[in-house]
Structure 1
Amino acid sequence: MTAPHTDGRASRWDRHRADRRELILAAALEAVRSQGASVGVQEIADLAGVPRSVLYRLFKDRQDLDEQLRTRIIDDLMAALAPTLNPEGTVTEAIARSVDAYIGWIVANPRLHYFLGAGSGSTKDHNSPIVSGTKIAIAGTVREVFERALHAQSAPVAVAEPMAFGLVSFVDGSVNRWLSRSMQPMDAGELSSFLHIAIWAIIDASLREVGITLDPLTSIAEFTAAN
């Protein structure tokens, strides 16, 4: 049987399109980082060095561009958060490490974080599938940690899900409000310290409800080890 013929020109054109998409997304990321979510399509095209018409041949519309850009921003955020989602050290250290990594990324990238929730000035899409999916994935990872710990302590694991999703929503809401008030009335360090205490208080109260009294200086490894 003769192998199917591959058109080299089509392959080169696909690579060219992919390269241009990468160029535009990189330009859009830099434009939002430096100018904010209100940056226009023409400004992004100019920064990428392509005509506006080319941008719209590669992306269906501004909403499509926004969602692809969110994917890039989340990739960057998750690179900072990923090491903290497999907690190590004591419970206190694990909480501090994850909160400080998140707040630190936001302080370095406030406009990118705002864009995740709001999108561009032209679309104002507050229901991004990629953002919602990422929050669910993070909460799911936290839930798995709680489930392992509860199972190791022979405690009911059903509480793990509301604990995890409640904590992620609590942190997200606190941070978004803080950003909406131009990082006031607390500074970043004060907000991090508040969240350390509040997260521990929620975990502690939730565990006590299922009969577990936990010292926050207990190591994660010890707490999640089967008896």
Structure 2
Amino acid sequence: MSITAKRPEESRSPSGHEARWEQHNLERQTRILEAAVAMLEERPAGADIPVQEIAKRAGLAKSVVYRQFDGRDDLDCRIRAHLVDEFSRTLDAELDISTGSVEEILVRTIRAVADWMTDHPRLNEFARTGPTVRGADIDAVSSLKMRMSVRARELIASIATLIDVDDSAFDSVPFAVVTMVEGTLTQWATDPEPTRDRSQIVADLARLAWFVLDGAARSAGVTVDPTAELSAVIARLSGASGDVAV
């Protein structure tokens, strides 16, 4: 755990000086994490990157790194957590259902995953080497899959509420789709001679994901045109007028 974490017995609000010091530490931590990520991108896969070199890249003394992180294991966990947080923000933006059709949302979200795997292979590999929190029993990629499954389930539940349908048919859909996409793209990205290019594998997965979603929707009594603007579809099904934001 970072030494900047608040002790359980501290119940009062931080003073202005304490708040500034906390912000200063957070900025230092971010510099260290970003330096580590940049070096992971540059080095061969699996190469050891000494803390001294990370500190130098961040423009800090090695002792500062060890004041901000509780040892190398903690630093590595925080690097993976940083990767997951940053990529989650990217995926959240692509999952914005206020713009685009279901087809477009699926394609752009899956494409973002394919882009990250192929454009940042060393980061992808490092994320698989351990957890985001010490002691956790799943790696960072699995944590990301769980996070995105929960996010997708929340979006589906919100839409179901708006159009007043039972969303229980979708209970297993998000994790099933996320697992399918991640597993297929991992196999594709590591294939030395893939039979399909990036746009083709993205289109294939988007189509398969739609089949799963469409099947669940039909079992709930809902039929959706995957090429229609989703906000307009929601408005029509809910009997609302104007744009619908979820």
- Establish whether TM, by shorter chain, passes 0.5: yes
Contact persistence 1:85–1:141 (CA under 8 A): no
Query: CA 1:38–1:8 in structure 2 vs 1: closer, same or farther (change >3 Å)?
Result: same
Q: Which has the higher helix share?
A: 1
Give 2:33's aligned amino acid: L
Question: 2:118 aligned with 1:107, yes or no?
Answer: yes
Give 1:205's aligned amino acid: G
TM-score (norm 2): 0.71
Pick which of 144-153 and 170-179 moved more. Answer: 144-153
Whole-Å separation in 1 of the counterparts to 2:163 and 2:31: 51
Q: Gapped runs of 5+ residues in structure 1? A: 1-5
Deviations 1:139-169 (A, max 9, x none): 2221133224444554321122211222122
Question: 2:34 is matched with which residue: 18, 21, 26?
Answer: 26
Cross-structure match for 2:191: 181
| CA positional deviation for 1:32 | 0.7
Whole-Å separation in 1 of the counterparts to 2:18 and 2:108: 48
Contact persistence 1:140–1:164 (CA under 8 A): yes
Whole-Å separation in 1 of the counterparts to 2:58 and 2:221: 58
Contact persistence 1:118–1:126 (CA under 8 A): no
Q: How many pairs were matched up? A: 218
Q: How does 1:1-227 map to 2 (within 5 A)?
A: 18=26, 20-35=28-43, 36-42=45-51, 43-48=53-58, 52=62, 54-87=64-97, 88-119=99-130, 127-128=138-139, 132-181=142-191, 184-225=194-235, 226-227=238-239
Give 2:188's aligned amino acid: W
Whole-Å separation in 2 of the counterparts to 1:213 and 1:79: 30
Query: CA 1:52–1:193 in structure 2 vs 1: closer, same or farther (change >3 Å)?
Result: same
Whole-Å separation in 2 of the counterparts to 1:103 and 1:17: 34
Whole-Å separation in 1 of the counterparts to 2:207 and 2:195: 17
- 3-state SS in 1 of match to 2:172: helix
Give 2:187's aligned amino acid: R
Q: Gapped runs of 5+ residues in structure 2? A: 1-13, 240-246
- 3-state SS in 2 of match to 1:80: helix
- 3-state SS in 2 of match to 1:30: helix
Q: Percent identity?
A: 27
Give 2:157's aligned amino acid: E
Contact persistence 2:169–2:219 (CA under 8 A): no
| CA positional deviation for 1:197 | 1.1
